Amino acid sequence: MSRVDTLHTHFNNIALRMADLPMYNPVLEVACVGFQSYAAREIGVLVTPWCMNLTLFPAEFDDWSEWDETEIGNKQMIALPSGQYECIFGWSELTGGFMSCSLFSPMFEFSEQAVAVETAEEVMKALFDGANEAPTDRQQALREHKAEQEELKKQEETVAEKVVAPKPEKLSRRGFLTGGFARNGEAESP
């Protein structure tokens, strides 16, 4: 059974226990949408009757790949082509560890399962489109600082090109031999 299948099973089991809660939208069911490999991680959208989350399973190189249930709730920034996303760690006996980023909660704006799944599919397309990048405030500040530094460097280079170093005065043979004390062929008297 794949990790995506175990995620589906895990959240189906939770759904059975949540059915009477006020945040539960009874027209929806659990679905795992658009899961694919990206940067050695499995990533997709989990749809449930109470939330829709971007969900990631770790790559072997992720520091959180070794986390267990004691790490539930820890946060990690995950980079995707459309930007950085703050994700929260979750864990279950069936799936092991995974990261989630909330997209919708609760789910009452979805009147049918097909609309929720279509929304999840569109989310997956948008996540991998760099044109949708929304940089964080820090990323934006760093980019602006870098652009300012590059502009200053260009201005300095332009000024340096305009400044022409004065040509050294051409010394006569006598001037050279007298250490430059003789100018224009005339020796200075001692």
pLDDT in tens, 136-175: 676 677 778 788 888 888 888 777 776 655 566 666 667 6
Q: What is the mean pLDDT of the chain?
A: 86
Beta-sheet pairing, 75-80 with 31-38 = unpaired
What is the three-class DSSP state of 67?
coil
**Cβ pair 48, 104 in contact under 8 A:** no
Amino acid, single-letter form, for residue 9: T
Q: How far, in Å, CA of 15 to CA of 137, rounded?
A: 37
Instruction: Give the pLDDT mean for 33-49.
Output: 96
| pTM reported for the whole predicted model | 0.70
Highest-confidence segment of 103-107, 128-132, 139-143, 153-157: 103-107
Q: How far, in Å, CA of 57 to CA of 64, rounded?
A: 10
Instruction: Give the pLDDT mean for 22-46.
Output: 96
Q: What is the pLDDT of residue 83?
A: 86
CATH classification of 3-128, choosing from 3.30.1460.40, 3.30.450.40, 3.40.50.2300, 2.40.50.220? 3.30.1460.40
Confidence of residue 95 (pLDDT cuts 50, 70, 90): very high
pLDDT in tens, 48-86: 999 999 999 999 999 899 999 999 999 999 999 888 899
Q: How far, in Å, CA of 20 to CA of 6, rounded?
A: 24
